[in-house]
Amino acid sequence: MRTRVAIVGAGPAGMFLAHLLHLEGIDATVIERRDRAYVEGRVRAGVLEQGTVALMHRLGVADRLMREGLVHGGTNVALDGKLFRIDMAALTGGSTVTVYGQQEVMRDLFDAAEARGLSIVWDASDVALSGIDGDRPHVTWRRDGVTQQLDCDFVVGCDGYHGVSRAAIPRDVLRVFERVYPFGWLGVLADVPPAEHELIYANHERGFALASMRSPTRSRYYIQCALDEEVADWSDDRFWDELCLRLGPDAAAKVTRGPSFEKSIAPLRSFVAEPMRWGRLFLAGDAAHIVPPTGAKGMNLAVSDVTMLSQALTEHYRERSDAGIDHYSARALARVWKAERFSWWFTSVTHRFPTMDGFDRRIQMAELDYLRGSLAAQRALAENYVGLPLEAA
């Protein structure tokens, strides 16, 4: 088998890239370890930057997004129970974000992939990359007991943090930068109306809380928890009580309680691998970088990576120029690091760190009090939250 671009992984990075290349008429095949139901079933964040929404329109996969996505022009911050709103649209000349779950995005991408006949191999085990430092790269895998090989011009590693692609870059070339946070997020989904029509990011002495949503009838809530906590120890009642305490009395009065149908704990991590290109291998999305979920940048970063990469590959095939390919890693990393900075900052000012002393706590309170009172500080948050522009090509 032969294709131009072999894409490892059918998460957001891999599927957005597959559609982008299809639009440009560049032949590609996606090789995914799991099946569609698994990939679509994973519960992830659900805030789309303006650029992500624009890309879904460009790819012709935005019909349901337009009908069901919730456009938010602002967001709320709570400090010890007192709420203030940041008018992101007013501060950014009209930019907004759209609340639409990653699961919905994946469903739309897979439905359109089927309709357009994009090539996806599901249930591929033992995926391995070879020849990426030469000019004849290929990907091999096993399926139904048979080994398959795909020859290609380029391999794109979109296989997430635990994938195999990043490890194909030699150890003396790859540099990794990492922060592991001393807490996790306990997340709950429940079919109850959201407390507020926009999100609430709450810094409370007992820890962070976030009120988010999936639709007018489905809420998504999170509370910061210790890493050694077990989901089983969090009954719905205990969760609602703790959430309400942290959001403060005004927001708590608007919380509708109900049975949860999903409850899980996720650790928080900042991680960047450099470079994002080695020979004929490119990395995109979580394969190259992880952000803590505060600010919901994960999927949006995958989208900006593959947007830049598809431009570089289009330039390669159309104009026979490798300038874009050679520039991809530096260009993508420039935006990645700004999103890393924002996600780290937003996490740092909203969470309770176990080592925090009185000084740290007061600095945090001063930071959020400054945010409450300064339109300049709010604008800095707003322009990062709605999504920074792509770096110049």
Cα–Cα distance measured from residue 154 to residue 280, given in angstroms and rounded to the nearest whole number = 5
Catalytically annotated residue among 19, 22, 297, 351: 297
Active site (annotated) includes residue 254? no
Q: Which is nearer to ligand APR, 14 or 74 (CB)?
A: 14
Q: Determine, following the binding rule CB under 6 A, whether residue 212 of this chain makes contact with ligand PHB.
A: yes
Smallest gap from residue 208 Cβ to ligand PHB (A) = 10
Site for ligand APR in 274-333 (CB under 6 A): 285-287, 298-299, 302
Give the span between the Cα atoms of 51 and 98, in whole angstroms.
Answer: 10
CA distances from 144 to 2, 35, 123, 138, 151 (A): 20, 14, 9, 20, 20
Tokens 């938010």 correspond to what residue?
A: 72
Give the nearer residue to ligand APR in terms of CB position, either 70 or 283: 283
Q: Is residue 275 left, alpha or beta, with left meaning phi > 0 and alpha meaning psi from -120 to 50?
A: beta
- Is position 47 an interface residue for ligand PHB (rule: CB under 6 A)? yes
How many residues bind to ligand PHB according to rule CB under 6 A? 11
Q: Is 293 a catalytic residue?
A: yes
Query: Which among 214, 251, 207, 203 has a CA at the least distance from the CA of 349?
Result: 203
Tell me if 194 sits within 8 A of 169, measured CB to CB. no
297 is catalytic: yes
Using an 8 Å Cβ cutoff, are 348 and 40 in contact? no
Indicate which residue of 72, 204, 289, 351 is catalytic: 72
Residue 294 binds ligand PHB (CB under 6 A): yes
Tell the smallest beta-carbon distance from residue 390 to ligand PHB (Å). Answer: 21
The whole-angstrom separation of Cα 302 and Cα 14 is 9
**Residues in 329-358 at the binding interface with ligand APR, rule: CB under 6 A:** none
Size of the site for ligand APR (CB under 6 A): 27
Selected from 51, 293, 324, 387, the binder of ligand PHB by CB under 6 A is 293
Please list the active-site residues. 72, 201, 293, 297, 385
